[in-house]
Structures are given as structure tokens and as C-alpha cells.
Amino acid sequence: MPYLPAGLPLPQPTDADAPFWEAARRHELVVQRCTECGTFRHSPQPCCYNCQSFNYEWVKIKGNGVIFSYTNVVHPVHPALKDRVPFNVVLVELPEAGNVRIVGNLVDTPFEDLYVGMPVEVTFDDMDEGTTLPQWKRAS
């Protein structure tokens, strides 16, 4: 069962980020890396912020990271969340991908146990037949 309830707006992939969502559907985490200067970036963009190259590749990573920041959401910001609050939102830093940061939820740990630097790993939340969200769980 997904961490978040049905009824939320789901990602609408663009040309720039469709490969990210397609990989998530396969339960793989990928990050863009510039093929000119090697800089990783997230969220997906057509151009490198470091060298302005439009050449890039998608790199499959293991999905091991640490919590960079987190918060506890207590107000339902969408009607579908009225019975789901409180829930956590985490910003995960990925050392294996140039320390890019990805937002998600930590699905298996109460808010009181979260801390900056907490090791986490990716898990995949199948929201429906077409959408999978990369999420996070406590590292095993």
C-alpha cells in the first residue's frame, strides 16, 4: 500500500524527466550526469548548470543516502491528505551521485526518530499502474 493516499496529483513527466519516472517504474533510481564535466544534477534539466552543456547521461545508482533535512507535515495541503496527516517529508542527499538531493517521504520511521545524517535507502511506491514514486526507508 502506498505511503501517500490515492487522489493526489501525480507527476506529469516532461521530455527532461521522463527517463527518471520510467526508471522509477522499473524500481531503479537514476540521476542525470553531464557527459562534458561529470556534474550530477537533480531535478532533471536539459542543460548543465556547471558548464551549460546539453549533453548528459542517466546513471543508475544504488539509492543510498542520508537525510539532509526533514519536516513533519501536520496540515493537509490537499483534500486527499485529510486523513493522512501527520506525515514526514525528507530531503535526502546522495553521496554516490555528487550529493544531489531528492525530496520524498521516509515510509517506515516515525517522525520522532528522524535526524539529520540518518542513513536511508530508496524504496519504490507504486501509486497506480503508471506511476511509481521513489521514496525512502531506514537503511538496513
Q: What is the binding site for Zn ion (CB under 5 A)?
A: 34, 36-37, 39, 48, 50-51, 53
The CA-based angle 138-23-103, given to 5 degrees, is 45
Q: Give whichever of 14 and 53 is closer to Zn ion, judged by the CB atom.
A: 53
Rounded to whole angstroms, the Cα distance separating 105 from 43 reads 16
36 or 96: whose CB is closer to Zn ion?
36
Q: What CA–CA distance (Å, rounded) separates 92 from 96?
A: 12
Q: Please say which residue, 50 or 99, places its beta carbon nearer to Zn ion.
A: 50
Give least dist CB 55 to Zn ion, A. 8
Minimum distance from residue 48 beta carbon to Zn ion (Å): 3
Q: How far is the CB of 44 from Zn ion (least distance, A)?
A: 14
Shortest distance (Å) from residue 46 CB to Zn ion: 12
Query: Closest approach of Cβ 70 to Zn ion, in Å?
Result: 30
Q: Which is nearer to Zn ion, 41 or 136 (CB)?
A: 41
Query: Letter for the amino acid at 73?
Result: V
What is the C-alpha separation between 122 and 11, in angstroms, rounded? 18
What is the Cα gyration radius of the chain? 15
State the cell numbers at 119. 542513513
69-84 core/surface letters (b: 16 or more CB in 10 A; e: else):
ebeeeeeeeeeebeee
Query: Please, which residue, 38 or 86, has the CB nearer to Zn ion?
Result: 38
